[in-house]
Each structure stands twice: as C-alpha cells, then as structure tokens.
Amino acid sequence: MPAGIGASGSVGVAREVTAGTYVAPEKFIPIRSESLSYAQETIFTRSIRQVADPVFAVPGNATIEGDIEFEVTHDTLPYLLYGMRGSVGKVGVADPFTYTLTPDASGQKSGTKTTLSFTIVRNAIVFGYTNCVIGSLELTVDNGIMVATVGVLGQDEASQADPTEAWPTSVPYGAGEYDIEIPSASAVTDVDTLTFTVNDNPEHAYRLRSTGRGAQFTKFGERSVELSVERDFIDRTDYDAFKALTAQAITFKASKTTNRDVTVILRSAIKDTYEIGLDGQGDLVRASITYQGIWNQASSESYNIVVVTDEDIT
C-alpha cells in the first residue's frame, strides 16, 4: 500500500447498545484532527538469573486515550453529548428535535447507548475503538468558527470492516451567528474571545479478570466547569461583581438558522480572575475574565448544553 495523507481518512461515532461491543458508525464527523491511540503498559521483568537484561515481556494494562477536534455543527454534536457524564434528554417527534445534556454526579457511564464506538480510517486501515466516554469538552471560537475538542477515554481497539462514509451537509457556525448574555438575558457585544470547558477528570479503573487488558470502566472524578472571555473594559460594574463574588448565569448561543442552535448555559458562574491593564497608547483597555461554574441550587446543575437540530437520533 502506498503512503497516504490525512485527506483520505474519516472518523465515525456510534452509541453502543452494550458497553464495549463495537457498533458501526451512526454519524461521520468532519474533523480537524484526532489522536486516539492504544497504549499498553508492558512489564519487562528483570529477575535475577545470571543475566543483566530484561528476561520476559509481560502484558500490562492497556488504554485508549486521545482528543478529537472538529468544527461544531448542530447535527454532529449531539452524538458526542451521549458519551459525556450526565443524561441527554430528547424533545420532539419531528423536526426540530431538542437535545439537552444535564450533568450528574455519576461515577461511570451505565445504561444502553451511553458509551461510544469510534471508527477511524487512516490510510485505508480501519481502527475500531470501543467502550469510549467523553471525559472533557472544550468549545471555543477560532477565527470566527465554533470548534470543539473532546477528550476520549476507552477500553479496547480492534480492526473493523471498512465503513461507507456519509457526510453531513451542515455548515459550521461562523461570524455573525453568536449571542452572548452576561448575565443571562443581558446581551453583550464587547466579547471577542470565548472558551468554555468541562472536565470530569476521568480515570481508567482496572480490575483483575480473565479477559481483556483494558479498563473495566472509566471513573469520573470532580467536575470542573470554566468559561474564559476577553471583552472591552467599560465600567466597574462587572469588576465590582468580581470583588463581591457575585454569581451570574451566563448564556452563549450559536444559531445557524431557526431551530439549528447550540446553546451553553452556566447556571451559576463566579469570576475567578479578572485582569485589566494598560498596554500601548493605541491599545484598547481590555478585561480578561475567567469564570468557574458552580452547582446551582435552584436547577440542581452547574451547566447545560442544548442543541436544536433536524437530526433524529433514536
């Protein structure tokens, strides 16, 4: 086989009916990059037996880890939400369909169609990654385009049948399609950079057993929800709220057309850092702000992600 380039590759995702049992792609995701890999902690024994070299290579734990970066569209993002810590509720029997991720305090994914299979084709070679979860999600705006990076942890990998790709026709979100409310219901127009991050601090949980070297499951840890923005510094109102530890709800929405939306809601956000300063004579006075999302008693959650789309996921 001749050497190949990335342009010939593909990434597909599917929800698993049984955790760890491979499922062919339900949806193909146009990506920017991916780094999923199978790593094994091989143990090289050095028993004393009149040699000064490793004697045996003994199988150790194996792991699937890596990131997938892609430009966000309304019809691809919901599939990844199913692999995150929490539950996805679906509303609608016809277009539009609304998918809402509600986070919870679960220690692991359980139930039908909550773990993911990823199918990755590299130079016509097919890799099938199973029992995968999304341990972290970052949403940001890069050169006007909404971009997501998901951190994936999984259990195993095996060769699979070459899939037949079917690509979405939806267009990523770009300039002029964003609404930011700080606090919610109060639109602002002075933000130029924004990054939202959820990290559930996952870890592989290995158990002694007779089959498989991958983790028995992936354990979620303490959740961290963070939002960072840069905006024009206009007055002290927001700065004084920072000093007072005032909680604010924040909403960030990307809208392609009617009923083709991605919305991120922080239920209670506390400003963790607030940096302002003077630079050059001709530079605008700017504020660089980092928010920490905390649990909100009224809604019993720290954040939500809501996607409105014509994609019917059954």
Q: Are 297 and 273 in contact (CB under 8 A)?
A: no
Classify residue 176 as exposed, middle or buried by CB count within 10 Å of its CB (0-12, 13-18, 19+).
exposed
- The residue-averaged pLDDT of 178-202 equals 96
The pLDDT score that the predictor gives to residue 277 is: 93
- The pLDDT tens digits of the residues spanning 234-280 come to 999 999 999 999 999 999 999 998 999 999 999 999 999 999 999 99
Q: Where are the domains of the chain?
A: 9-39+59-160+170-309
- The residue-averaged pLDDT of 141-150 equals 97
Q: Coil, strand, or helix at residue 281?
A: coil
The pLDDT score that the predictor gives to residue 97 is: 98
The pLDDT score that the predictor gives to residue 210 is: 80
pLDDT > 90 fraction of the chain, expressed in percent and rounded: 96
Average per-residue pLDDT for the chain: 96
1, pLDDT greater than 80: no
- The residue-averaged pLDDT of 51-66 equals 96
Cβ-proximal residues to 94 (8 Å cutoff; 6+ apart), any chain: none
The pLDDT score that the predictor gives to residue 267 is: 97
Question: Which residues make beta-bridge pairs with 203?
Answer: 219
- The pLDDT tens digits of the residues spanning 81-138 come to 999 999 999 999 999 999 999 999 999 998 899 999 999 999 999 999 999 999 999 9
- pLDDT bucket at 4, cuts 50 / 70 / 90: confident
The pLDDT score that the predictor gives to residue 209 is: 86
The pLDDT score that the predictor gives to residue 245 is: 96
User: Among candidates 6, 36, 12, which has minimal Cα distance to 122?
Assistant: 6
- Phi and psi of 183, rounded to 5°? -75, 175
Cβ-proximal residues to 87 (8 Å cutoff; 6+ apart), any chain: 101, 102, 104
